[in-house]
Structure 1
């Protein structure tokens, strides 16, 4: 475990006036051995961060690990591991006095039945390796074709974005396009309409292109590394490829878990969310057992406080790893009036990365990779930044890229924010000065692998970020004035994501 360096930062932020524990708040501990000793908070401090402790969060994460270990090794949607983890969350919420409900939905689940094949069969034979050289785009159609590989407008990032790019395209050939300008779904549909038997998209960044075409395509589609792409383009007119994808889409059902505070104004609701599901490869304890555990413990302890001014709704999303399905279905199902009543959304996805950073979502929209956040999002960013400054801790902004469950809320115009400890990005030397850890390595080398287990969690990251989570929930339960003026109309802004969950859209 890496121990962060804590560097003083000027201008400590002010914490809100403390809220007292509700009468009877020092009730007996719940199962798990959570001792809840009564305590007194100073008037200039939040109460909730003192109640939401790392030890209690760790107990939840250890239980999620056990559930995964005994149920196929994971907690992916539509599996026994997910169902048992959901029962655990429901049980804990009920014991804390909530009445959780399941919000069910159906979705199209795409899966590969066997590894895809991409081979150059002429002018000389080259075998390309899945995951290293190429990745099948999610929702790629199935197919097995051996045909000429034909570049499409290969001198432009607009490659494949217009039907005119395919003028004279030979029937049955495999289209080779460049990433850029338009969604992969448009490039693929244009290729299929022109008679292509498959599509290869060349990445413009290092590594294979982990993308999605959104809905099942008519032809197989893969994304390749820049190096593989250069080889294919250099092969010339004699290029021939075999492209084979064995995949299918099935209709499944899953559910979110929603629990609301007993009191507080329902027309100014604060929504706090984390995704409960993980990837099939492992237990998913950082992604996102960490966010789940922190939100769950925050909900449990929040129930001990006095009646809030604003209602707080705790959400545990399903099927995030297959394209943000649970949160998207939830927002899509809200009426205009129900959406109007949401004051803001807070998202917590991965807070215990081994080689962590303290990342605050870019509510000001200042980073190149961020999309325009709804008005009020900047105030949420400032709250987190001020909190960390007040704790003499460094924090940094991270892109609002559409990669987690805030996406649907932002698209609907809801002010959004949250925290993140890092995934597949690479830590810099400067960040080592801020947080400790190892430069040149991913924030979480265990991301989406079987090694994402409880013994790989950085508990310093969990402590720092969970305190900030608790602080934000208590603050906004009291007042959302800086975010939405308490009762402002939520107006949707243009929000066109580049990613759907972990997959690139364009």
Structure 2
């Protein structure tokens, strides 16, 4: 397979300026050279130099080996996850940390057999699971054959209001268009109206990988836009069969947490990446890459001495089943402990094969972004300035709730981070920015058995791990632009015989 074009490394891009500073160049000289304050800070940072791509790669190769010998994946609840956690804990202990497991219980949704969706009347037709439809996670089980009744399908908010179901025949299967509100709300409205099942069809091309978050009252699946159009075309004689074989069971898992011994306890910088993979593969990009980047940063950070702000490194469990580990952790904190968190940095996929340099949208400028907490824009600017100093283009990416920053943002904690791209398609313009292949997904191996160390773009790992390391070092020193907390400045008390002679214009002695 053709390897994507490579961008130049941030380590190489500013090496000349780093050599100047290493040789004793002053800040004034740096400013005179036109590099500016941001460039000066980036070039004096030690951590991006200590965190090498070779060491990050070694962690990713070790996670690959763990998956290879433990069923081919590192999903929560498997031996692959447990051994991955032991690896992270051992590495942290070697660096001088005292890592702890944060245990939690959660409702795990299990699907026991392939779901079925078919037209039974007026003309039989079966749809293919995976290609044409998917079960919404946390759908309840059931096997129903009933009339299929469209619910206000011409509206962009189909099924979002109880009034959409006026006159809905009890016992029918609701056929609903995506958009306007959550799948859970549409499904609950259908159940309240007497529906025995729900089919939600996409409002854009492709299938839906969706969730109703908590166990639903009725079975629910999501289909492609084409399946939806075909169902609507049948008209009033439509009859459907919908079968889902699933249940919710209580399971337990854990995240791994480690923090610096020193630093302000009431101004904590939390740095996180999810440790688990999907069941389908080893998850070396998603999210062995983020795990490796954060782990190596933690190891090298321990060499820099006592930070001004405490830094807490988190390796989340059960992300792939609904951001469970990070959510349970945030829910376990007291109000005081939440207030002590200055900001959260998230790193979920930093080695995508056909990569981009994406910074989370702390300014809230993208249509798909949630409203970011105040201070998130400063985190975004920190990453953008770092990349600009390396001569590298970056772009914003949506704060859409797809990763572990979600629970922190819900508590109004400033958040940010990096992402190298997933299942979106790279444009011609983005090829100019990053190299690679237009018309291909940023990560064509996302959530597949081929998410392996062989399909990692090491330039992406190099560039994004450099930015990761820089952000940790920067915010460990000061979070002033994020939350208004300035670094402490200690002044020695005045000594006898060394007092001022004046107070303003007036002599004291």
Kindly state the Cα deviation for residue 165 of structure 1 after the two structures are TM-superposed: 2.1
CA distance in 2, matches of 1:324, 1:44: 35
Given that 1:119 and 1:128 are in contact with CA atoms closer than 8 Å, whether structure 2 keeps it comes out as yes
Kindly state the Cα deviation for residue 167 of structure 1 after the two structures are TM-superposed: 2.3
CA distance in 1, matches of 2:81, 2:452: 16
Matched residue, 1:2: 4
Given that 1:18 and 1:47 are in contact with CA atoms closer than 8 Å, whether structure 2 keeps it comes out as no
Report the CA distance shift for 1:53/1:199 in structure 2 as closer, same or farther (over 3 A).
same
Q: 1:18-37 to 2 correspondence within 5 Å?
A: none
Report the CA distance shift for 1:356/1:42 in structure 2 as closer, same or farther (over 3 A).
closer
Q: 1:38-437 to 2 correspondence within 5 Å?
A: 44-437=43-436
Report the CA distance shift for 1:7/1:305 in structure 2 as closer, same or farther (over 3 A).
closer
Report the CA distance shift for 1:89/1:6 in structure 2 as closer, same or farther (over 3 A).
closer
More helix by share: 2
Kindly state the Cα deviation for residue 187 of structure 1 after the two structures are TM-superposed: 1.4
Matched residue, 1:446: 445
Secondary structure of 1:204's counterpart equals coil
Kindly state the Cα deviation for residue 3 of structure 1 after the two structures are TM-superposed: 2.9
Secondary structure of 1:360's counterpart equals strand
Given that 2:42 and 2:470 are in contact with CA atoms closer than 8 Å, whether structure 1 keeps it comes out as no
Residue-by-residue CA offset, 1:310-362 (whole Å, 9 max, x unaligned): 00000000000001011011111111110111111000000000000000101
Q: How many residues align?
A: 462
Kindly state the Cα deviation for residue 155 of structure 1 after the two structures are TM-superposed: 2.1
The structure having more radius of gyration, on CA atoms, is: 2
CA distance in 2, matches of 1:7, 1:340: 37
Report the CA distance shift for 1:110/1:319 in structure 2 as closer, same or farther (over 3 A).
same
CA distance in 2, matches of 1:88, 1:319: 17
CA distance in 2, matches of 1:409, 1:178: 31
Given that 2:9 and 2:463 are in contact with CA atoms closer than 8 Å, whether structure 1 keeps it comes out as no
Matched residue, 1:498: none
Secondary structure of 2:280's counterpart equals coil
Secondary structure of 1:345's counterpart equals strand
CA distance in 1, matches of 2:9, 2:323: 36
CA distance in 2, matches of 1:202, 1:125: 19
Residue-by-residue CA offset, 1:159-201 (whole Å, 9 max, x unaligned): 2222222222222111111112221112111211222111001
Kindly state the Cα deviation for residue 158 of structure 1 after the two structures are TM-superposed: 2.4
CA distance in 1, matches of 2:42, 2:289: 30
CA distance in 2, matches of 1:371, 1:164: 27
- 181-190 or 80-89, larger mean C-alpha shift: 181-190
With normalisation by structure 1, the TM-score equals: 0.89
Report the CA distance shift for 1:42/1:390 in structure 2 as closer, same or farther (over 3 A).
closer
Matched residue, 2:506: none
Kindly state the Cα deviation for residue 44 of structure 1 after the two structures are TM-superposed: 4.6
CA distance in 2, matches of 1:76, 1:161: 34
Given that 1:266 and 1:311 are in contact with CA atoms closer than 8 Å, whether structure 2 keeps it comes out as yes
Given that 1:309 and 1:477 are in contact with CA atoms closer than 8 Å, whether structure 2 keeps it comes out as yes
Given that 1:5 and 1:433 are in contact with CA atoms closer than 8 Å, whether structure 2 keeps it comes out as no
CA distance in 2, matches of 1:346, 1:77: 22
Which gives a bigger RCO, structure 1 or 2 (Cα 8 Å, sep 6+)? Answer: 1
CA distance in 1, matches of 2:199, 2:460: 40
Secondary structure of 1:140's counterpart equals coil
Kindly state the Cα deviation for residue 479 of structure 1 after the two structures are TM-superposed: 0.6
Kindly state the Cα deviation for residue 224 of structure 1 after the two structures are TM-superposed: 0.8
Kindly state the Cα deviation for residue 18 of structure 1 after the two structures are TM-superposed: 9.3
CA distance in 2, matches of 1:71, 1:364: 42
CA distance in 2, matches of 1:18, 1:411: 41
Kindly state the Cα deviation for residue 117 of structure 1 after the two structures are TM-superposed: 0.5
Secondary structure of 1:151's counterpart equals strand
CA distance in 2, matches of 1:194, 1:42: 60
With normalisation by structure 2, the TM-score equals: 0.88
CA distance in 2, matches of 1:186, 1:383: 38
CA distance in 2, matches of 1:181, 1:195: 21
Kindly state the Cα deviation for residue 6 of structure 1 after the two structures are TM-superposed: 5.0
Secondary structure of 2:240's counterpart equals strand
Given that 1:6 and 1:435 are in contact with CA atoms closer than 8 Å, whether structure 2 keeps it comes out as no
Report the CA distance shift for 1:302/1:18 in structure 2 as closer, same or farther (over 3 A).
farther
CA distance in 1, matches of 2:303, 2:5: 32
